[in-house]
A = this chain, B = another copy of it.
Amino acid sequence: MKGTLATIAIPGAVGALAACADENPALAIAKATGSTPAGHASEHAPAAAAPAAAAPALSRREKADAMDAMHEKGVKAFPAKTEGKGNQLLKPRLVGGVKVYELTAREMQWEVEPGKKVLAWAFNDQVPGPQIRVREGDRIRVIVNNELPESTAVHFHGVEMPNDQDGVPFITQPPIKPGTSFTYEFTVPNAGSHMYHSHHNAATQTMLGMLGAFIVEPKVPTAAEKADVDYVMILNDGPHGYTLNGKSFPATEPVVVKKGQKLRLRYMNEGMMIHPMHLHGMHMTVIAKDGWDQPAPWKCDTLNIAPGERWDVIVNCNNPGTWAFHCHILTHAESQHGMFGMVTALVVK
């Protein structure tokens, strides 16, 4: 059967890899489904085009080798170094028993993957903004300094606030004008994996980066939620591309654990699309939705996370190896130029 391979006609086969995007089946597919982010193909194509264009008479095997080399290059680059790291734990100042956090929103350039810098509106020069971790019952104060060209406001998504601290301009407060500050202060009411983000011109502001994790630890954690490793993964799409914690593959961060450890993942979707996250090698046990315990934890390997949702899962890391871990909308994770976007790895040592 394989003996006939050299002689069969391959009418629809992938041609010279980057001769022309419009003649390329893979790109035609991306067009037909509309699910490749605008500009992605062209970003990658030039780099890939050179070798193929220089060799119009490549054999099928040589073309396959050229494609594989691109894929390998991406994987070998992982985890690639980029400037800036988001979602870093923010330490509070203690002022008279109140934990005081300061968030300064500012415009900047953010490196999403090596060499790809995008306009960001960021809290404390990070995308996602710094991670805030508090405990149920804490008294906290969050000072927001607005150094952006627009007004803003911060909503603590999932936190059952006193109404006047809810962060919705013209409903609960005036907007925070450029060059001014606003202070939120409240006693933290409900535990769970929550978020903070802009609630003013939010389709623009949050997509440019004005978001972060707001984790509330319970006064008494349940056995189910105690873990050796606690990892927040913020999913995003939009003008920065498909990102995990503000970075695209191969610049995403691997999750690294030791064999036998219990890993808690806190997924948060700050984008506009669903992202069904698929973990290879081990299943996930879903223990909480939007910070609330699930009454009956359940298992899966692919968890569909919609915009605004948070899901907490436990992984018993008993299967050693490096495991692919990605959004299963494949056009968010791989092109013919290799893996990109919402891809990382769980490394069980």
Contacts and interface: CB of A to CB of B under 8 A. Distances in A.
Interface of A: 1-2, 5-6, 8, 10-14, 25-26, 28-39, 60-61, 63-65, 67-68, 71-72, 75-76, 104, 107, 119, 145, 147, 149-151, 155, 157-158, 160-164, 166, 168-172, 175, 177-179, 181, 190, 199-204, 206-208, 237-239, 272-274, 276, 278, 280-283, 289-302, 304, 306-310, 319-324, 328-331, 333-336, 345
A207 B330 contact: yes
A201 B151 contact: no
A6 to B, nearest CB: 8
B321 A163 contact: yes
- A-B pairs, top 7 by smallest CB distance, nearest first, are A163-B321, A308-B328, A292-B299, A304-B306, A13-B149, A75-B170, A302-B308
A70 to B, nearest CB: 10
B278 A61 contact: no
A203 to B, nearest CB: 4
B306 A150 contact: no
Contact of A203 (B29, B31, B273): B29
A281 B177 contact: no
Contacts of A336: 201, 203-204
